[in-house]
Structure 1
């Protein structure tokens, strides 16, 4: 969807853009990575770094697929989808097409939105997971863990 929107922005947006209110449509290009960091670097280097980061996210998502929760997997899917879309766009000509403009934030695109949303969701799930682990550890330390067969009221079973 993002690549389609980028293609539309390149062919359908006028130089003046379109004012919609809080988020306007304005065509822009980013030769760097987030917030134009590395914009002066050679395109091949930015493409290589983008490819390496995208590959790392893919490996993390693949490893998490077996044991991650739904929210964590959704977060990784958003991050990976956005990274792949931006990489595919950048690989063509060395720049990423941006088209969403607020006036108070750098111009961005739908893939950037997916990456940021996924990163926030991933952070929340990690924080909630840590909090749940700490609660579980405190409950175990307090002796409130459920009884096992050996410690059940009827005692261990002989089979």
Structure 2
């Protein structure tokens, strides 16, 4: 049957944009609030979690803190852009959990790149005492990776092996 080509639905990319933009906005709004509330060494004890202001001039677990800020910005910016391009291109064929996971990873990475661009360091404020101090963007990254991992496991379980013919 001939006819006009079927256009792909825009919903997966819309989901990607909405989740990424929403999470990015939340992270960028919370960071200055945390800096303001926790200024001057103020610590808020919430039991299992403390809110304590620290700054990270490196990347995860302060790795690379001795590297020049422009180099860290360039590398993390390129990685973030790569994640964004991959997420955009794969969204039409991905499941919604995969798309949401990639959106969370992109939003977290982008929020940290933007934060580092402002003053050369990333603002961290969640402190457990037994783990590195982190921020909301790091939480989005971690949750995005977990969601992506769960989606991959679920998709692998539901796929049926294709039969090959000799």
CA distance in 1, matches of 2:90, 2:48: 36
1:119 corresponds in structure 2 to 145
Match in the other structure for 1:99: 125
1:54 Cα deviation from its structure 2 partner: 0.5
Structure 1 counterpart SS, 2:44: coil
- CA–CA distance in structure 2, aligned partners of residues 47 and 17 of structure 1: 29
Separation of aligned partners in 2, 1:99 and 1:63: 34
Query: What is the aligned counterpart of 2:80 among 51, 54, 68?
Result: 54
Deviation at 1:126, TM superposition (A): 1.3
Q: Flag structure 2 segments of 5+ consecutive residues without an equivalent.
A: 1-25
RMSD of equivalent CA atoms: 1.4
Match of 1:63 in 2: 89
Question: Structure 1: which 5+ residue stretches go unaligned?
Answer: 142-159
Shift of 1:130: 2.1
Say whether residues 1:129 and 2:155 are aligned partners.
yes
Q: Secondary structure at the match of 2:161?
A: helix
1:47 aligns to what SS in structure 2?
helix
2:45 counterpart of 1:5: no
Q: Which structure has the larger Rg over C-alpha atoms? A: 1
Between the two proteins, the alignment pairs up a number of residues equal to 138
Inter-partner Cα distance in structure 2 for 1:36 and 1:121 = 25
The DSSP-based 3-state class of the residue aligned with 1:39 is: coil
Query: SS of 2:43's equivalent?
Result: coil
Equivalents in 2 of 1:128, 1:94: separation in Å? 39
Secondary structure at the aligned position of 2:124 is classed as: strand
Shift of 1:131: 2.5
The C-alpha deviation readout for 1:21-44, integer Å capped at 9, x for no partner, is 111100000111111110111111
TM score, norm. by length of structure 2? 0.79
1:25 match: secondary structure: strand
* 1:2, distance to aligned residue in structure 2 (A): 1.4
TM-score by length of 1: 0.82
Q: Compute the displacement of 1:97 (Å).
A: 0.2
